[in-house]
């Protein structure tokens, strides 16, 4: 197992915003707990006023966007330690699979584990597994992301 390269978790909003291209109010990650070259552990406490909360429930698009932004946060930290001045932008190129088993309530905390399976040129194949604060699996996905800069 690869060593976690973070000396301590990154939990401050201003630090997270330096690592991702997304900006408020469309930010779906708020913490980076662990980072290795191929894996990461990210988190998000869902604000009740989040754009993707409907009737107190974080929507399926919200869960999927959280997983995608978790991948973006991994890429952003990789760029940061490589000395990049700003986070690289990208997008979901394809979703190979996604399964949302449960929609979390606003106010709950998600933990997402990402793993890079394959990377060639600017295309990354990555899996994500999202759990609620009790460790219950709520979603999984496998996506191709494309970095554009």
Express each pLDDT in 71-92 by its tens digit.
999 999 999 999 999 998 988 9
What tokens appear for 83 in the block?
A: 């000395």
| Interatomic CA distance for residues 106 and 137, integer angstroms | 17
The full set of domains in the chain, from first to last, is: 13-147 (3.10.129.10)
Q: pLDDT tens, 30-46?
A: 999 999 999 999 999 99
CA distance 95 to 71: 13
pTM over 0.85: yes
């Amino acid at each position: 197992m690869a060593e976690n390269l973070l000396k301590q978790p990154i939990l401050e909003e201003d630090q997270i915003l330096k690592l991702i291209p997304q900006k408020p109010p469309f930010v779906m990650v708020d913490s980076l707990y662990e980072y290795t070259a191929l894996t990461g552990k990210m988190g998000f406490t869902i604000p009740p006023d989040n754009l993707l909360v409907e009737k107190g429930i974080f929507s399926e698009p919200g869960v999927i966007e959280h997983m995608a932004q978790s991948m973006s946060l991994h890429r952003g930290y990789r760029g940061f330690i490589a000395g990049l001045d700003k986070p690289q932008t990208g997008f979901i190129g394809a979703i190979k699979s996604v399964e949302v088993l449960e929609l979390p309530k606003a106010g709950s905390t998600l933990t997402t584990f990402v793993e890079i399976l394959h990377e060639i040129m600017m295309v990354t194949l990555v899996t994500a597994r999202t759990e609620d604060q009790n460790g219950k699996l709520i979603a999984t996905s496998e996506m191709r992301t494309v970095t554009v800069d």
